[in-house]
Amino acid sequence: MADASALLEPQIPALRRYAYALLRDHDLADDLVQDTLERALSRWAFRRDDGDLRAWLFAIQRNLYVSRWRQRRRRGTPVALDEAPLPGVAPRQEATMEVHDVLAALDQLPEEQKSLLLLVGVEDFSYDDAARLLGMPVGTVMSRLSRARQRLRAIVETGRTTLLRRVK
């Protein structure tokens, strides 16, 4: 197990970044990383020694995320009326608003396109690595990524993500 922890520990920051990019909640992201590491350790004996550890961990994490996303979609999110968050105040800085617009646009993309954009754009996976991780041909990765970028650009440019109108 000491060998496993020595190999897993350097991967934790990248796993946390990816989990936060998917969930945008630090507590949920930490839970996802913990579950990923727990699953990896419990299945350490089944790992291929010649395989890419980083890709294996990201595949575990993505599969856990997708399973929970599907489960939440089926069940919905229960919120008691007393615990419902009050509407917040929108940020006044232009750059922060643009970041929120892009994140909101990212949430409007289908899960496959969102995962691809995050893997290639944020985590710097190559097309080959992303294709292996997602179990699809490289050409499919490239075409889906192209469509995802076009769709994200279109959503941001049309401004369908903004909750408030900007007045100049």
Domains of the chain: total: 2
Query: What's the CATH code of the domain at 131?
Result: 1.10.10.10
Assigned domain for 165 exists = no
Are 155 and 107 contacting, i.e. CB atoms less than 8 angstroms apart? no
Per-residue confidence in pLDDT tens, the chain, 168 aa: 668 888 999 999 999 999 999 999 999 999 999 999 999 999 998 888 888 999 999 999 999 999 988 888 888 777 777 777 777 765 566 777 777 787 888 888 888 888 888 999 888 899 999 999 889 899 999 999 999 999 988 888 887 654 555 555
User: What pLDDT score was predicted for residue 160?
Assistant: 62
Whether the model pTM is above 0.85:
no
Number of neighbouring beta carbons within 10 Å of residue 99: 12
Give pLDDT, residue 66. 93
Residue 56 lies in a domain: yes
The type of residue at 145 is: L
The predicted structure's pLDDT at residue 1? 60
Q: What CATH number did the domain enclosing 58 receive?
A: 1.10.1740.10
Q: Are residues 50 and 110 in the same domain?
A: no
Q: Containing domain of residue 126, as a range? A: 93-158
Residue 158 identity: T
Sequence-distant (6+) residues with CB within 8 A of 108 are 155, 160, 161
Nearest to residue 63, comparing CAs of 99, 44, 43, 36? 36
Residue 71: inside a domain: yes
- What Cα–Cα distance (Å) separates residue 97 from each residue in 20, 37, 100, 107? 19, 34, 5, 15
Classify residue 21: in a domain, yes or no. yes
Same structural domain for residues 61 and 109? Answer: no
69 part of a folded domain: yes
Let me know if residue 85 belongs to a domain.
Answer: no
65 lies in the same domain as 14: yes
Query: Domain end: 75, 107, 128, which one?
Result: 75
In this structure, the answer to whether residues 70 and 103 fall within a common structural domain is no
Q: Is residue 60 part of a domain?
A: yes
